[in-house]
Chains A and B, each alone.
Chain A
Amino acid sequence: MNIEKAVLSVITTNKEQIAGGAPIFICDTKEDMDKVAANLEAILDGISHALSDEMYIIVKH
Chain B
Amino acid sequence: MKKTNPPVQASLAPTGQTPGAAVHIHIEPPGRWSALELGQIWRYRELLFFLVWRDIKVRYKQTALGVAWALLQPFLTMVVFSFFFGRLAQVPSDGLPYPLFTFAALLPWQLFSYALNESSNSLVVHQRLITRVYFPRLLIPLAAVLAGLVDFFLALGVLLAMMAYYGVALTAAALTLPLFLLLALATAFGVGLWLSALNVQYRDVRFVLPFLTQFWLFITPIAYPSSLAPEWLRPFYALNPLVGVVEGFRWALLGAQNNAGPVILISSLMVLFVLVSGLFYFQRSEKFFADLV
**A and B associate in one complex:** no
- Interface residues of chain B, those whose CB is within 8 Å of chain A, are none
